[in-house]
């Protein structure tokens, strides 16, 4: 999209937002606001609407809430995060504050990763080399983001071919963004908010979301097939029938939106379609390996990187929340290729990689395993979003209202906290606030505390953890 077209689009959308509150015939709508998706953004939006007394219904295609925040207690008998794990910037993150009120405990993440070189730990000088390269690559990407043309992160570091190149391509590309650096906008990368501090939720983010959703009306097994948004009421078609509302908030992933599973009538304007296409979902999966007796002699939540020699690399999160669970993080093109095969291929790679990284035979010590395949989840179709080169504008564009009745929300429309639980939550709140205001409802933001967005943005080593 050209800058001229984007400015025209933003100006037109701003004019729409400035219009009067929308009215609807009394009793004509099934709900004031329908919310599509019971993930983090959907729950946040529903809480906002419920606080005003407006009628709200959440339609969820699957059988559980949380979306890409899915805590599984069945596989291993204790909370296992199949999706997002970290709550960043807990001092200002709204979810951290809400967790305290619901009795859910958060634990701070360890201070930083450990580095392996071959089958040994890196020497102090090697660690310094890693950190120096990390800082240099980040500076190069941030510098490129200031240029008039938004280039890829790979172009920004094209002249840096030091011994850490393969490692940085994994840490900054696959691990942080779920994709290769040649596919990722330097501007979007540089706009990423500070993620230095992080906390985990030993009881599970899914349990936290369940406690926060107690006031929400959620209808499961209700995939939406079509949204008609240009009439006096929004009409939403589901497999079990049609529902109407004065407004709708769509929190489906950009993977689902781009797949055409949800039809829009009339079709979405070209700029929205382009924005969805610019915010593709990356590949990021967990391969969980359960051990007894801590054979790798690692501490709780230790994070391990290796000095990579190619793209067949990964990261390890050890002894998750003090259990015997070790999670190998595979991402980017390698992760996508393995996920296209099957869970067995992913598990075999993970075990081989851990054995090579730690120089010991561990396969016989593995008790139970599980591998996520988010690209195969039908109502997600990927992990989290990254903006293509020249496409950072798409996050803001997709957050703007359509036809005075339709809003999009989710991690993909947050300009600085994309790919995070906090970003999805804030996005859902912002969409709900805008919809409530357009419908003439009371402002639910009275006394709102400082958000994570307002806390600032900078890149650091733990930006991707």
What tens digit of pLDDT does each residue of 189-213 get? 999 988 888 999 999 999 999 999 9
Give the CATH number of the domain where residue 221 resides. Answer: 3.50.50.60
- Asked if the model's pLDDT at residue 13 lies above 60, the reply is no
Q: What percent of the chain has pLDDT over 70?
A: 89
- pLDDT for the residue numbered 147: 86
Least confident of 25-34, 233-242, 285-294, 389-398: 25-34
| Host H or E run for residue 2 | none
Q: 287 with 276, same domain?
A: no
Rounded to 5°, angle at Cα 370 from 362 and 212: 130
Specify the number of domains making up the chain.
2
Q: 31 with 168, same domain?
A: no
What tens digit of pLDDT does each residue of 125-142 get? 999 999 999 999 999 999
- pLDDT for the residue numbered 465: 29
Least confident of 29-33, 420-424, 444-448: 444-448
Return the C-alpha torsion angle 375, 388, 261, 273, nearest 10.
180
- pLDDT for the residue numbered 457: 34
CA of 417: how far to CAs of 87, 88, 375, 456, in Å?
11, 9, 21, 11
**Does residue 164 contact residue 309 with C-beta atoms inside 8 Å?**
no
Structure tokens at 189: 């990368």
| Host H or E run for residue 464 | none
Residue 64 lies in a domain: yes
**CA–CA gap between residue 454 and residue 91 (Å, rounded):** 12
- Asked if the model's pLDDT at residue 227 lies above 70, the reply is yes
Q: 370 with 288, same domain?
A: yes
Residue 144 lies in a domain: yes
- pLDDT for the residue numbered 444: 59
Band of the pLDDT at 334, cuts 50, 70, 90?
A: very high
Q: 192 with 292, same domain?
A: yes
- pLDDT for the residue numbered 460: 34
Query: Which residue range is the domain that position 37 belongs to?
Result: 3-68+203-280+384-446
- Asked if the model's pLDDT at residue 85 lies above 70, the reply is yes
Mean pLDDT of the chain: 89
Q: 298 with 351, same domain?
A: yes
- pLDDT for the residue numbered 5: 36
Considering 321, 349, 374, which residue would you say is the last residue of a domain?
374
- Asked if the model's pLDDT at residue 28 lies above 80, the reply is no
- pLDDT for the residue numbered 240: 86
Q: 292 with 268, same domain?
A: no
- pLDDT for the residue numbered 443: 64
Residue 256 lies in a domain: yes
320-336: average pLDDT? 97
- pLDDT for the residue numbered 268: 97
- pLDDT for the residue numbered 1: 37
**CA–CA gap between residue 118 and residue 308 (Å, rounded):** 9
Torsional sign, CA 332, 334, 340, 342: negative
**Does residue 106 contact residue 89 with C-beta atoms inside 8 Å?**
no
DSSP 8-state code for residue 152 = B
* Residue 455 vs residue 360, higher pLDDT: 360
- Asked if the model's pLDDT at residue 455 lies above 70, the reply is no
- Asked if the model's pLDDT at residue 7 lies above 50, the reply is no
Residue 352 lies in a domain: yes
List, in order, residues 6 or more apart from 51 with CB less than 8 Å away.
Answer: 444
Q: What percent of the chain has pLDDT over 90?
A: 80
Q: 191 with 260, same domain?
A: no
Q: Is 448 exposed, middle or buried (0-12, 13-18, 19+ CB in 10 A)?
A: exposed
In which residue are the tokens 């219904």 written?
57
Q: 290 with 353, same domain?
A: yes
* DSSP string of 379-416, one letter each residue: TT-SS-EEEPTT-THHHHHHHS-BTTTEEE-SGGG-SS
What tens digit of pLDDT does each residue of 207-225 get? 999 999 988 899 999 999 9
- Asked if the model's pLDDT at residue 187 lies above 70, the reply is yes
CA of 288: how far to CAs of 184, 303, 406, in Å?
28, 14, 39
Count the residues in the chain: 465
- pLDDT for the residue numbered 167: 96
**CA–CA gap between residue 341 and residue 393 (Å, rounded):** 34
**CA–CA gap between residue 346 and residue 422 (Å, rounded):** 29
Q: 189 with 299, same domain?
A: yes
**Does residue 181 contact residue 157 with C-beta atoms inside 8 Å?**
yes
- pLDDT for the residue numbered 15: 31
- pLDDT for the residue numbered 23: 53
- Asked if the model's pLDDT at residue 450 lies above 50, the reply is no
**CA–CA gap between residue 154 and residue 174 (Å, rounded):** 12
What tens digit of pLDDT does each residue of 386-422 get? 999 999 999 999 999 998 899 999 999 999 999 999 9
- Asked if the model's pLDDT at residue 87 lies above 70, the reply is yes
Cα–Cα nearest to 83, from 72, 93, 95? 72
Q: Is 446 exposed, middle or buried (0-12, 13-18, 19+ CB in 10 A)?
A: exposed
* Residue 390 vs residue 459, higher pLDDT: 390
In which residue are the tokens 């912002």 written?
430
- Is the backbone peptide bond immediately before 271 cis, with ω within 30 degrees of 0? no
78-104: average pLDDT? 93
What tens digit of pLDDT does each residue of 247-269 get? 999 999 999 999 999 999 999 99
Q: 295 with 160, same domain?
A: yes
Give the CATH number of the domain where residue 323 resides. Answer: 3.90.660.10
Q: 358 with 211, same domain?
A: no
338-357: average pLDDT? 97
**Does residue 362 contact residue 295 with C-beta atoms inside 8 Å?**
yes
Residue 233 lies in a domain: yes
Considering 322, 350, 374, which residue would you say is the last residue of a domain?
374
Q: 272 with 212, same domain?
A: yes
Whole-model pTM above 0.95?
no
Residue 41 lies in a domain: yes
Band of the pLDDT at 10, cuts 50, 70, 90?
A: very low
94-113: average pLDDT? 91
List residues bridging with 195 in a β-sheet: none
φ/ψ of 275, rounded to 5, equals -65, -45
């Amino acid at each position: 999209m050209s800058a001229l077209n984007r400015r025209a689009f933003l100006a037109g959308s701003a004019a729409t937002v400035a219009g009067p509150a929308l009215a609807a015939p009394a009793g004509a709508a099934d709900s004031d606001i329908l919310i599509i998706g019971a993930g983090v953004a959907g729950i946040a939006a529903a809480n906002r609407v419920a606080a005003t007394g407006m009628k709200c219904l959440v339609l969820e295609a699957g059988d559980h809430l949380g979306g890409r925040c899915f805590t599984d207690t069945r596989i291993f008998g204790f909370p296992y995060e199949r999706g997002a794990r970290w709550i960043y910037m807990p001092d200002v993150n709204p979810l951290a504050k809400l967790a305290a009120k619901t009795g859910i405990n958060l634990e701070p993440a360890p201070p930083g990763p450990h580095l392996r070189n071959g089958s040994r730990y890196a020497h102090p000088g090697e660690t310094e080399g890693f950190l120096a390269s990390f800082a240099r690559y980040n500076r190069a990407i941030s510098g490129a983001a200031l240029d008039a043309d938004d280039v890829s992160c790979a172009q920004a570091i094209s002249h840096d071919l030091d011994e850490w190149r393969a490692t940085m391509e994994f840490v900054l590309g696959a691990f942080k963004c779920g994709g290769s650096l040649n596919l990722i906008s330097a501007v979007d990368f540089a706009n990423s908010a500070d993620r230095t501090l992080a906390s985990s939720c030993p009881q599970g983010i899914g349990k936290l979301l369940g406690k926060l959703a107690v006031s929400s009306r959620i209808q499961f097994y209700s995939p939406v097939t079509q949204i008609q948004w240009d009439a006096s009421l929004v009409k939403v078609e589901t497999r079990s029938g049609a529902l109407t509302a004065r407004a709708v908030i769509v929190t489906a992933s950009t993977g689902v939106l781009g797949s055409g599973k949800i039809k829009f009538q009339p079709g979405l304007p070209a700029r929205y379609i382009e924005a969805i296409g610019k915010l593709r979902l990356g590949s990021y999966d967990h391969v969980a390996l359960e051990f007894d007796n801590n054979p790798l002699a690692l501490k709780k939540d230790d994070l391990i990187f290796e000095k990579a020699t190619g793209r067949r690399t990964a990261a390890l999160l050890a002894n998750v929340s003090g259990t015997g669970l070790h999670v190998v993080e595979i991402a980017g093109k390698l992760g996508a290729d393995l996920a296209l095969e099957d869970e067995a291929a992913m598990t075999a790679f993970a075990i081989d990689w851990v054995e090579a990284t730690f120089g010991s035979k561990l396969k016989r010590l593995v008790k139970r395993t599980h591998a996520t395949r988010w690209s195969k989840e039908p109502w997600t179709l990927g992990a989290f979003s990254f903006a293509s080169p020249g496409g950072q504008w798409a996050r803001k564009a997709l957050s703007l209202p359509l036809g005075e009745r339709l809003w999009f929300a989710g991690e993909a429309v947050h300009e600085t906290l994309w790919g995070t639980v906090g970003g999805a939550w804030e996005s859902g709140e912002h969409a709900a606030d805008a919809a409530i205001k357009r419908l003439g409802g009371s402002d639910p933001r009275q006394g709102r505390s400082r958000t994570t967005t307002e806390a600032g943005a900078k890149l650091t080593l733990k930006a991707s953890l």
